[in-house]
A = this chain, B = another copy of it.
Amino acid sequence: MSKVILKGGTIWTADSVYVADIFIQDGIIKTIGQDIQYQADEVIDLAGKIVMPGGVDVHTHLDAPVGETTTIDDFASGTVAAACGGTTTIVDFATQQKNQGLVETVEMWHEKAADKAVIDYGFHISVTDLYEGSMTDLGKVVDSGVTSFKIFMDYPDTLMLDDGEIFRVLQAGGRYGAKVCVHASNGKVIDRIAEDLVYQGKTGPEGHLLSRPPATEVEAVNRAIAISRMADAPLYFVHLSTEGAAYALAEAKDHEWPVDGETCTHYLTLDKELYFKPDFEGAKAVLTPPLAGEKDRDALWKGLRTGSLSIVSSDHCPFCFEQKKIGIDDFRRIPNGGSGIEHRIQLMYADGVVAGRLTPQQFVDIVSTAPAKAFGMYPQKGQIAIGSDADITVIDPDGVTKISAETHNMRTDYSLWEGWERAGRIVRVFSRGEEIVRDGVYVGAAGRGSYLKRRTI
C-alpha cells in the first residue's frame, strides 16, 4: 500500500556505514540501493543525516508498582517519550506479586499496554513467587511470546528468590528456551549493612550508595553464573554497574559460557557524587544498583567495546520527587528508580560516538541490534535490511540537544541530566514505515503500538 523512499542518508548498521536510499513498502524495508528509481508516495531527503535502526530498549518499568508507589509513566507517556528519543521497541517487565499467578501477571500487563503504547512492545516476566504449578505456567507464558524471565537476588522481603528457586527458574529457562534475566545484588548482606547505617544515624540518600558496595553486585554475578552452569541454562544480567561485573562476564565469555549483560545509560554518564547533594536531592539518583565512580564507568565503556557487555538499556523506572520523599527519614524507603527512556540513544550517540568511545557500528549494535538479537526480535527489529520492519531513527549530526525536565516527554519532574547539552539531534523516527516523530515531537496516532510475540532461543 504505502511506499516511501528515504533518500541519500548515511546508513549506520551494526556492521557497516554507507550511503544509500531505502525503499519501504507497507512498513517493510523492500530495497536498499544507490539512486533507487521506484515510484513512491513520499520521498524524504535524508542527505547528510544518520539513518539507523530504531532503538530497542529491553529494560523498562511502565505503570509498575514499586515499593510503596507506582512508576509515574504509563504505556502512553512512556512510549511517547521513548519514540521521541528514537526508541521504537521496548520490552517491559511484567512483575509477579506474591500470591499472583504468572499467566495472570502477563495478562495484567497486556491490559496496561493495550491501546496505550505507541511503539511495539514485548514483556519479560519477573518471577517472585514459586507456587505449585508455576513451572508449567512459565511454559504457557513462553508460548504467548514472553520468552524471558527475570529473577531478583535482591529485596529479600518482596522480590528475592533463594538460590534453590533461582536454580529452578534457570532450569525452566533452559527447558523452554527462555533467557533468564538476573538482578544481581546480594540483598541479604545489603540489608544488614543498611541496618548498620540506619543504626548509626546515616538515614540520608547517600546511605543507598554506602549500603551497596560494588562487591554486593560482583558476588551475586559470580553466584548467578555458577548456578546457571549447574542448571545448564543461559543467563542475562540486567543493569550492571561495576568493573568487577564486567570482568566476570569477560571471563565467562572467554570460556564460551552463554552469559550476556547490559549496563544502563546512567551508569555510563553519571557519578555517585550525586548522592551527596543537599536537600534530599540525592534521592533523585536513588536507583539500583547505585551510580558508581570513574573507574567503573571506564570499565563499562570498555566492556561495551570488548563485548563483555553487549547492550545498553534505560532501566526506565520513573518517579517524581514527591514520590522519592517517601524515604525522607530512611533511605531504605526511597522508591528505587530513575527515568531515562527518552535519552538513551541521544546520550550513547554523543558520549559514545562523538566522544570517541564507540564506533558508529558499536553504537547501533548496543542500542538496537544486540538487544533485538538477545531477546528474539531480530531481524524483524534492530536492523536495516531487506525484509526488516521499517523502524528507523534519523539523527542530524549537526543538530544539538539540550536535556531538561521542562522539555522532556517523560512525566518525571526532574532530570538526572538537567541542562546537559550534547551534539546530535533526533529529527525523525519511523515505526513500521510510519513517521511518528518529527523534529522531536510525537506526530503518530495514540495507542498505535503492537504486542511483539518474541521467539525462544
Residues of A within 8 A of B (CB): 13-16, 18-20, 23, 30-38, 156, 162-165, 167-168, 186, 188-189, 191-193, 213, 215-216, 218-219, 222-223, 226-227, 229-230, 250, 253-254, 256, 302, 305-308, 369, 379, 383, 385-387
Contact = CB atoms under 8 A, between A and B. Distances in A.
Given A20-B386, A31-B32, 6 more contacts: A162-B188, A219-B226, A222-B222, A222-B226, A253-B306, A254-B308
Given A191-B164, A226-B215, A386 B32 contact: yes
A192 B167 contact: yes
A315 to B, nearest CB: 24
Contacts of A254: 250, 254, 306, 308
Contact of A223 (B19, B213, B219, B229): B219
Contacts of A35: 30
Nearest to A32: B32
B30 A379 contact: no
A359 to B, nearest CB: 11
Given A30-B34, A33-B23, A256-B305, A215 B189 contact: no
Nearest to A16: B385
A253 B86 CA distance: 32
A120 to B, nearest CB: 20
Contacts of A18: 379, 385-387
Given A15-B14, A219-B226, A34 B387 contact: yes
Given A164-B188, A386-B20, A34 B31 contact: yes
B189 A230 contact: yes
A213 B231 CA distance: 11
Given A254-B250, A256-B306, A16 B189 contact: no
Contacts of A14: 15
B33 A31 contact: yes
Nearest to A254: B250
10 contacts: A15-B16, A23-B33, A163-B189, A164-B191, A168-B192, A215-B226, A223-B223, A254-B254, A254-B306, A256-B306
A430 to B, nearest CB: 18
Contacts of A19: 386-387
A231 to B, nearest CB: 9
A14 B14 CA distance: 10
Nearest to A378: B16
